[in-house]
Amino acid sequence: MHIIVGLGNPGKKYEATRHNVGFETIDLLAKRNNIKVKQLKHKALYGEGHIGEKKIMLVKPQTFMNLSGQSLLDIIQFYKIGTENIIVIYDDVDIELGSIRIREKGSSGSHKGMKSIIYQIQTDEFPRVRIGIGAPQFEDLSDYVLSKFPKEEIPIILESIEKAALACETIVTDGVLSAMNKYNG
């Protein structure tokens, strides 16, 4: 089974913010693969289903971004899943708006949700899909990531979310290297 985790913050207040593109990608994957992400367990909303012949679990941690690792650790321990079968989707201010980057492993960079995950599961060796949200021009980083996209950026980020969902499906069906070759550009 593959666990696909989208990072974000729960609650209406945070919907459609830059920090919640991971949640939005999970919602798109759920829609594309007819999976209901409505069960509450492991400090997360989740749903199980299939991408092709492969069983998957779509996960939206409900711990708030900076504690995302608590939820993922609980899932890993409960299902006895190896980290190679985890995919984490999250926003990245170091990537240009409209771009995505897929990596097999790596550091958290400045992302606190990823720091929490790496700290909790004690490894950085798991695939991730980073969605570029661009860097703030003048505002504070935390204000920026919690802000909504301006109208002119919405079509760009929706296209990025779609690419991220397709990349996750490719990782599940064909492997991370195939997804990297296809979507890293």
- Helix, strand or coil, per DSSP, at residue 175: coil
Annotated catalytic residue: which of 2, 19, 42, 111?
19
Domain of residue 111: give its range. 2-183
Q: For residue range 143-182, what is the model confidence (pLDDT) as tens digits?
A: 999 999 999 999 999 999 999 999 999 999 999 999 999 9
Q: What is the pLDDT along the chain (185 residues), one digit of tens a residue?
A: 999 999 999 999 999 999 999 999 999 999 999 999 999 999 999 999 999 999 999 999 999 999 999 999 999 999 999 999 999 999 999 999 999 999 999 988 889 999 999 999 999 999 999 999 999 988 899 999 999 999 999 999 999 999 999 999 999 999 999 999 999 96
pTM: 0.96
* CB < 8 Å & 24+ apart, contacts of 158-162: 159/98, 160/21, 160/97, 160/98, 160/99, 160/100, 160/131, 160/132, 161/21, 161/24, 161/25, 161/28, 161/131, 162/28
Q: How many domains, the chain? A: 1
Q: What pLDDT was estimated at residue 32?
A: 97
Q: What pLDDT was estimated at residue 62?
A: 97
Q: What pLDDT was estimated at residue 185?
A: 67
Looking at residue 88, which CATH number applies to its domain? 3.40.50.1470
42 is catalytic: no
